[in-house]
Structure 1
């Protein structure tokens, strides 16, 4: 555990001891466990990988009053970036990517050496976000057991071949006093952060236009959160950004296509830091 900028405990994992440091920021409603496969693979290639649970998620602390705001999450991410011996490469999915974009655009010097944005752009497709929120709001009374939770996840992620096992679900669920299992996130998040998200878009668009570090945008071919239109707008705002569409992947890109995901990150790092990175792709991939 580390302590956030305002005193909340944040659960953190560190893998590897090479260079550069990759700081992984998960999406809304996820945990640091979303990065396990990618962080293990990239640490094995020579990177130092730092992942954490955002406030109100997983094993990190919750605000007693439930008054969450986007700037609090941004403050946590900034503090973790500044705690590294050198500015890290941010790998941010969805909410994590948006927070990184704001910090990279608004703070000088930028707190990140580079950005990897995972299926997110400053303007997103409302239908895809509404689908995610509908799932998060769908089971306020929780589940009778892990089998029921696994069934609901399988219905939400039909592209996944394997159903979640109990050991995979255990970090994602908490048992309440009534014996029922509920998701790991603080329900108060659904009010505060969601309420602010639309108001954040003008700030995100302005920040994107000021980003001056290397950027890789990875999008899922089957994503319903980003689209050709939102990607095109982003590339006009950040003309030096590289974009790769990962075949067959949805918004849950790292989980859908982890091998392709990690190869693209390793190749990007080698392209951007050719002489200063120990993280090397096992199979060279063209990044365009």
Structure 2
């Protein structure tokens, strides 16, 4: 069945991985058009891309926002395989479902996984790569801060949406005045049997990541994958990012000198949430240059 690029209602899509894990996603636009695959960051869901995906669909792209394994409505992995390599293989499998090689847009976790997809697992199946505030080398203090927040409420959860909103506000004080409401948080939280609310991702994803130090072989794998990528690359950093500093960017551009780099003023690590319109315009410009 064909779908008009003007469709405002997303289409639910399901993908079965080779290990039995089922991934869910939402697509906008005509499936026969050029594609964009959107991979969110750790602890997020496909809804992080909703406005971007809808905008892309209206502009004539086939945009697919995916729930990564262990996140959102995708399956939790019974084997607890949440390695970057596994995420990279998942993205390669989903990319292969497009009619033509898609542009892969990955934020944080989705970006590092995308590096492996484009540089190791599916080099010929990716048209271009957009990395949102992620590089092989990161500011470890910033990573510790992110992982500390993600792990802080694993056991107790939240009594209410208001409590969760306050926790987010305390973690992101620069967003005061834009406090999350119950409707938006319902996409990121799920009710537990005890009546409390928990994040909409598998706790096993973060257990074992409380040490932020990536294994040296993992960093080398990411660096090797980046250096091998021949397709166009865009690195977008939040000017206030706590993870990607100037040294990270310089190291990235040494490995991929053909990559383009853009800073988003006034944004932190969560660029798409902080400055959605600015990011969308940068993405439009990059896609238009392909």
Q: TM-score, normalised by structure 2?
A: 0.89
- Structure 1 stretches of 4+ moved >4 Å: 192-196
Structure 2 distance, partners of 1:66, 1:58, is 16
Q: CA RMSD in A?
A: 1.6
Query: What do residues 99-158 of structure 1 show as CA deviations (whole Å, max 9, x unaligned)?
Result: 111121124643210000001111111111111100011112111111111111111222
1:152 aligns with 2:167: yes
Structure 1 distance, partners of 2:59, 2:234, is 19
Q: Where do 5+ consecutive residues of structure 2 fail to align?
A: 1-13
Q: Where do 5+ consecutive residues of structure 1 fail to align?
A: 273-288
1:209 aligns with 2:227: yes
* Alignment match of 2:258 (pick from 227, 231, 240): 240
Structure 2 distance, partners of 1:93, 1:87, is 19
Aligned to 1:43: 57
Of the structure 1 ranges 65-74 and 55-64, higher mean CA displacement relative to structure 2 is found in 65-74
Structure 2 distance, partners of 1:170, 1:230, is 34
Query: What do residues 150-171 of structure 1 show as CA deviations (whole Å, max 9, x unaligned)?
Result: 1111112222231111111112
1:198 aligns with 2:242: no
* Alignment match of 2:156 (pick from 126, 141, 159): 141
Aligned to 2:17: 4
Aligned to 1:163: 179
Q: TM-score, normalised by structure 1?
A: 0.90
Structure 2 distance, partners of 1:4, 1:186, is 18
Bigger relative CO (Cα 8 Å, ≥ 6 apart): 1
Aligned to 1:250: 268
* Alignment match of 1:225 (pick from 243, 252, 259): 243
Answer yes or no: is the 8 Å Cα contact 1:70–1:193 preserved in 2: no
1:33 aligns with 2:47: yes
- For these two proteins, the number of residue pairs brought into alignment is 272
Aligned to 1:123, the other structure's residue is in SS state: coil
Of the structure 1 ranges 161-170 and 187-196, higher mean CA displacement relative to structure 2 is found in 187-196
How many angstroms does 1:33 deviate by?
0.7
How many angstroms does 1:75 deviate by?
1.5
Of the structure 1 ranges 11-20 and 171-180, higher mean CA displacement relative to structure 2 is found in 11-20
Structure 1 distance, partners of 2:168, 2:41, is 16
How many angstroms does 1:211 deviate by?
0.8
Structure 2 distance, partners of 1:181, 1:194, is 21
Matches within 5 A, 1:126-137: 126-137=140-151
Structure 2 distance, partners of 1:115, 1:97, is 9
Answer yes or no: is the 8 Å Cα contact 1:103–1:110 preserved in 2: no
Q: Residues 187 and 23 (structure 1 numbering): CA distance in 2 closer, same or farther, change over 3 Å? A: same
Structure 1 distance, partners of 2:146, 2:198, is 16
Aligned to 1:83: 97
Query: What do residues 45-86 of structure 1 show as CA deviations (whole Å, max 9, x unaligned)?
Result: 222110111111111101224343322211211100011111
Aligned to 1:285: none
